[in-house]
Amino acid sequence: MKIVVIQGPNLNMLGVREQQIYGAMKLEQIHAQMKDFATQSGIEIEFFQSNFEGELVDKIQECYGEASGIIINAAAYTHTSIAIRDAISAVSLPTIEVHISNIYRREDFRKQNMIAPVCTSSIVGFGPYGYHLAMVGMIQIFNEIRAMQEMQKQAQNSSEN
């Protein structure tokens, strides 16, 4: 199983920008914690960050056939990008959206979420810990998929006998 973590614009500035909203943790620290958890869980993990919408779309599309799931913080593009929404929809992978702050308690324009309807789940407002919650959630999704596949395999085997 492989999870691709996709980080949007300005997240490379975590630990520097607006610490009262986003905290003091740097993106590299968040990724290190996620990598440790993935290693302990036997899951491959890859990280990608870009400030450019098209690069985020390309990375989402590259996940098709290569990844088992996506964890994404589209950052400001959450509120504006139909292209990212369409890419998530197109690849049909379990996708968990993460936001460090609670976007629904902030400025009105942040309450518009273009990608949530095509994501499996959203985690907002837990700070950097939201990424850990997303990892736990993704493992649960993988376990449910495996269980469903096993049930289908057993059903097929019993119908052949």
pLDDT in tens, 36-88: 999 999 999 999 999 999 999 999 999 999 999 999 999 999 999 999 999 99
In the residue annotation, 99 being an active-site residue is answered as yes
Q: Active-site residue among 77, 79, 99, 131?
A: 99
Given the residues 22, 79, 129, 131, select the one marked as catalytic: 22
Q: Between vectors from CA 81 to CA 77 and to CA 85, what angle results, nearest 5°? A: 110
What does the alpha-carbon distance between residue 127 and residue 131 come to, in Å, rounded to a whole number?
8
Give pTM, 2 decimals. Answer: 0.92
Structural domains in the chain?
2-160 (3.40.50.9100)
Q: Is 22 a catalytic residue?
A: yes
CA distances for 49 relative to 57, 58, 112, 131, 157, angstroms: 12, 12, 22, 14, 44
Paired strand residues for 47: 5
DSSP character at residue 2? E
pLDDT, tens digit (0-9, with 9 covering 90-100), for 85-135: 999 999 999 999 999 998 888 878 877 899 999 999 999 999 999 999 999
